[in-house]
Amino acid sequence: MAPAADSPSPSNDILERQWERMRKSCDACQDAKVKCSQQKPFCRRCERHCIPPASSPNYAVGGAASPFNVDLFGDLSLFPTRDYDIAPLPPPPTTSSSSASSSTPTASILLGPAGSIGLESVSNSASDHAISSIAPAGCTGDCYGAVLQQLQYFHSRLPETTRPGIDTILLAERDMRSNQERVMACAACAANRSVLLLLAVVAERIVQMLDQIFETKSLLDAERAASSARSARRGWRNNSASSPFNVGGRSPSAASSSSSSSSSRVDSQHQQQQQQQQQQQRSADYYACPLPLQVGSVKVNRDSKDLCLKQLLQLRLTRLAAVLRDLQQASTVRPGDILYFSGELLLSDSLQRLEFLRGQVQVWD
């Protein structure tokens, strides 16, 4: 009796078993991330062995097939089918107890939207945990964030290689005093050693920028004094050379004979003196503040600007010194702590440099 036409041959059964075994090995491979899927129903290995395309859900995600056919969710009919009201979750317990592990939850997280956990809630909880780990209890972290924001501004806009103007430095000093007042008003952050160290770093950077401004002005004043001394000596020599009286044992008649040569020499020296004065004026204009200065409703003119800036700097440096003393006093709570000790060293050095700058302001012309 002839075999039926639709009965599979032994060779086809063997080939099917080989294909199935190769599919399983391809599915279990963790190195190849692109598997046979509906979007790409073949791979090089299947094409090389003439395996017909086959797709499965785990192929699309590129994961290995589960070795056991286990239903992770179990029988859903065992769960209650009644609806749950959408309500916020109860707050977690503050203290852990031994009976909490053996208690049975009233509702599963798989049932209803009230028990669903999304990526947004996970990210929010992670950010809240990071803020709570930085900011102490009872503080929202705004004062800590303000100090960090000012440090980021210094790093991006005012690096140590730049030399900002006095207006930018005074604005930064005002922001630092405002942040210091916020930190000291917060009872939690006032006792936080990290916040105090960050404030000490900000204060040291402001003192450094002020030191650069004062150094530039000191060099400019020294250059002006040397140029004035040279001009005075040159003018005295010119006056003595062009005097009509008896100079160096010469008679007035001999001096009058060389008047033409001396007058030409005086004219050339006068031109040189005018050129030097113009150069000094250009350098003074370069270092002068081009911004208009207005106190209240009164605009300060060019002649009174230096005096007004001197008084303004004296006031702001005095306030900055008071802030540094307050931070230094707050950093001496625990002398053995490394962060408190580092902040105290920064504040001591900054306060010493600031007192030197205050002395320089007082001797300004």
Question: Amino acid letter at 209?
Answer: M
Q: Are residues 194 and 304 in the same domain?
A: yes
pTM score: 0.50
**297-312: per-residue pLDDT in tens?**
888 887 787 788 888 8
Q: Which domain holds residue 333?
A: 140-230+299-365
Backbone phi and psi for residue 328, each to the nearest 5 degrees, phi listed first = -65, -40
The residues facing 294 across adjacent strands are 299
Per-residue CA distances from 328 to 32, 38, 193, 271, 319 (Å): 61, 69, 12, 57, 14
Whether 326 is covered by a domain: the verdict is yes
pLDDT band at 225 (very low <50, low <70, confident <90, very high): confident
- Is 215 in the same domain as 319? yes
In a domain, 225, yes or no: yes
Residue 178 has pLDDT above 60, yes or no: yes
In a domain, 257, yes or no: no
pLDDT per residue over 321-361, tens digit each? Answer: 999 999 999 988 887 889 999 999 999 999 999 999 999 88
pLDDT above 90 covers a percentage of the chain that reads 22
Same domain, 55 and 148: no
Q: For residue 99, what are its two tokens?
A: 């009976």
Number of domains in the chain: 2
For residue 22, give the nearest of 63, 52, 67 by alpha carbon. Answer: 52
Task: Assess if residue 267 is contained within a domain.
Answer: no
Provide the pLDDT confidence category of residue 119 given band limits of 50, 70 and 90.
Answer: very low
Give domain status of residue 292, yes or no.
no
Predicted pLDDT of residue 364: 77
> What confidence tens digit (pLDDT) does each residue in 260-287 have?
555 555 566 667 667 666 665 555 544 4
Cα of first residue to Cα of last residue in the chain, in angstroms, is 127
Q: Which of 3-17, 229-243, 255-269, 289-303 has the lowest mean pLDDT?
A: 255-269
How does the average pLDDT of the chain come out, rounded? Answer: 69
Single-letter amino acid, residue 14: I
Whether residue 188 is found in the same domain as residue 335: yes
State residue 103 phi and psi, 5-degree precision: -80, 150
Does 55 lie in the same domain as 156? no
Q: Is the pLDDT of residue 58 over 70?
A: no
Q: Same domain, yes or no, for 144 and 35?
A: no
- Is 193 inside a domain boundary? yes
- Is residue 182 within 8 Å of 142, Cβ to Cβ? yes
Name the burial class of residue 148, with classes exposed (0-12), middle (13-18) and buried (19+) by CB atoms within 10 angstroms of its CB. middle
226 lies in the same domain as 364: yes
pLDDT at residue number 116: 37
- Is residue 215 domain-shared with residue 330, that is, in the same domain? yes
Same domain, yes or no, for 145 and 53? no
In a domain? residue 288: no
Q: Residues 57, 145: one domain?
A: no
Of the residues 41, 61, 81, which one is the last residue of a structural domain? Answer: 61
Q: Do 21 and 164 fall within a single domain?
A: no
156/41 same-domain check: no
Distance CA 68, CA 273 (A): 100
* Of the listed ranges 20-24, 127-131, 342-346, the one predicted with least confidence: 127-131
